[in-house]
Amino acid sequence: MAKKRLEFYFEDRTGLNEKKLRKMFKDLYLFTANYLGLEGRYTLSCTVTDDSEIKRINNSYRHIDKPTDVVSFAYQDLGENIESPIKDLGEIVISIDTAQKQAKEFNHLLAREMAFLFIHGFLHLNGYDHIDEKEAEKMFELQNAVLNSFDASYSYPVLKEDVYYNFEDKEFMESLFKDVLEAQKHAYVPYSNFRVGAVVLARNGKKYFGCNIENSSYPLANCGERTAMFKAAYDGIIKNKVALLALVTDSPEELYASPCGACRQVMSELLTKTTPVVMFSKNGSFKINTVEELLPYMFTGENL
């Protein structure tokens, strides 16, 4: 394959996080170009804006009086730069407002949704379309294949605090509390009757539920936190792929649940030092510590 030279121009008109958005889209541009086997020299422009500007663009160029999630303009289709050694693919314009709505609707991170829209626009610029059912099936199959291979949710967690994992968001914390309570219902505790519920929330939005499982040979019991982490690890969700770990126990209402030492050691292996651990009390109040705060001077593979 001939060596590619990819030029990328990016503008963020939302004030969201220009530096981090630029990096994600530039990396995704290179990744998708490689995935499609493009050869030669290319240039591409990308703009992130809001619904009002997308609506204006749709009115002016598509005679559509409403905002959409993404608009793409293939300059080659307009007859521009056909003889140029550098192929100008065109421009992709993404609405942050619609992207946020759709990310919430589909229960995944904003970074993943914006990557999805970027790939969608990029495929349009390279001749893919969804005018009929057969074309749409082919395009969306390819779009999902590129997205899942790139996986913006894992590689670019930089947007998570901006949208979803805001611990000051009452709605989010209430939903998280419901999740750990649901996990707690499945606890197998015939000896202690002390129930633990835990949830690992992955950066791609998937949840892994865990509970404590006791054994008549007491040392063989497994904590709820480890159950959740092991289930997540089975799917390859470890380290930076984990957004947070949350738990609740049957401790008195005025006490926050706290992981045991064994669980903290497993956290040091499967999570990062900065992964938040949300400890709920029975009444829904919570305390948050990082893994490193729970286990300072931890023993890790770096010590071996």
- 214 labelled binding-site residue: yes
The angle formed by the CA atoms of residues 105, 46 and 142, to the nearest 5 degrees, is 60
- 216 labelled binding-site residue: yes
- 263 labelled binding-site residue: yes
- 46 labelled binding-site residue: no
- 34 labelled binding-site residue: no
Catalytic position from the list 135, 161, 225, 254: 225
- 212 labelled binding-site residue: yes
**Is 225 considered catalytic here?**
yes
- 108 labelled binding-site residue: no
Q: Which two tokens stand for residue 278?
A: 């949300």
- 86 labelled binding-site residue: no
Query: Which residue ranges are tagged as binding site?
Result: 120, 124, 130, 212-218, 223, 260, 263
Query: Which residue ranges are tagged as binding site for substrate?
Result: 212-218
Query: Which residue ranges are tagged as binding site for Zn(2+)?
Result: 120, 124, 130, 223, 260, 263
Report the catalytic residues: 225
